[in-house]
């Protein structure tokens, strides 16, 4: 800051402008508010900053070049997805990635399938740690309101929520599948992109688009939610008028 100020302790427009400038330089949401992330950046020491630069330089040196053809890059710490064709950037969008306790792993894989209006099989970890523990409080209305079905591991038998032993499910002693059909409350949104990998991570839309407005988007359980699944589907299929677009735009799901 270069302007003289009568009261250094007063958060006036001059100080707010300086905060916004600082936030812009550090890749933060330039809202002029000194929140948790801004305060952490303000308090970072020169040694800490130099160490971050060193780590990022090492990562950049070992990063693979963008190959020819169609290629998608997800920047996990930057919460962005960029799609290239022959090195030219064609798409760029925000994404939501895994929480710190359930991080999105780093890997390379080929997108093999596109699923329109997918159902959602709750991953075993989420079923044990989140859903089953919630059901121990007998919140069965949540499952019924969202159309879930509880079935055996081979999908051969439909089970009742009230008859399930949620203690065994939470402890991992009972392997069951919890499935939610397509619809407005389905967390996968309209499109799912399959890319076989050891961690069963995939790209998908979302039923909560407002979450992309948050500057810090480590919010998922590992899979990657994309802000523009229709645009990404058009890129993946390399088609200007794909047949699936009618299904996407059908309001009846």
Question: Which position among 26, 47, 146, 223 bears the catalytic label?
Answer: 223
Do residues 150 and 177 touch, judged by C-beta distance below 8 A? yes
Do residues 84 and 176 touch, judged by C-beta distance below 8 A? no
3-state helix vs strand vs coil in the chain, percent to 5: 30, 20, 50
Q: Which residue has the tokens 């994404």?
A: 95
Q: In angstroms, rounded to a whole number, what is the distance separating the alpha carbons of residues 253 and 174?
A: 33
Question: Which two three-digit tokens encode residue 237?
Answer: 């299929």
Reply yes or no on whether 92 is catalytic. no
Do residues 126 and 117 touch, judged by C-beta distance below 8 A? no
| Helices (H), ranges, the chain | 13-25, 36-42, 46-62, 124-126, 133-135, 140-145, 166-170, 229-237, 245-248
Give catalytic residues, as residue numbers: 204, 223
């Amino acid at each position: 800051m270069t302007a003289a100020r009568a009261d250094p302790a007063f958060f006036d427009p001059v100080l707010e402008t300086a905060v916004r400038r600082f936030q812009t330089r550090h890749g933060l949401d330039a809202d002029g508010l000194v929140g948790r992330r801004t305060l952490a950046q303000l308090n970072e020491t020169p040694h800490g900053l130099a160490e971050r630069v060193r780590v990022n330089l090492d990562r950049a040196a070992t990063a693979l070049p963008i190959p020819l053809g169609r290629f998608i890059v997800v920047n996990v710490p930057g919460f962005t997805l960029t799609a290239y064709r022959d090195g030219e950037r064609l798409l760029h969008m925000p994404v939501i990635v895994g929480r710190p306790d359930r991080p999105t792993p780093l890997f390379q894989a080929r997108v093999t399938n596109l699923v329109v209006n997918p159902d959602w099989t709750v991953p075993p970890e989420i079923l044990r740690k989140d859903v089953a523990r919630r059901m121990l409080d007998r919140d069965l209305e949540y499952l019924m309101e969202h159309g879930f079905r509880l079935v055996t591991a081979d999908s051969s038998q439909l089970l009742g929520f009230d008859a399930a032993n949620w203690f065994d499910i939470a402890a991992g002693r009972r392997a069951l599948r919890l499935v939610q059909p397509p619809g407005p409350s389905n967390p996968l949104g309209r499109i799912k992109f399959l890319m076989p990998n050891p961690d069963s991570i995939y790209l998908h839309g979302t039923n909560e688009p407002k979450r992309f407005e948050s500057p810090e988007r480590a919010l998922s359980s590992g899979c990657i939610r994309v802000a523009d699944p229709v645009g990404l589907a058009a890129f993946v299929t390399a088609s200007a008028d794909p047949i699936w677009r009618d299904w996407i735009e059908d309001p009846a799901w």
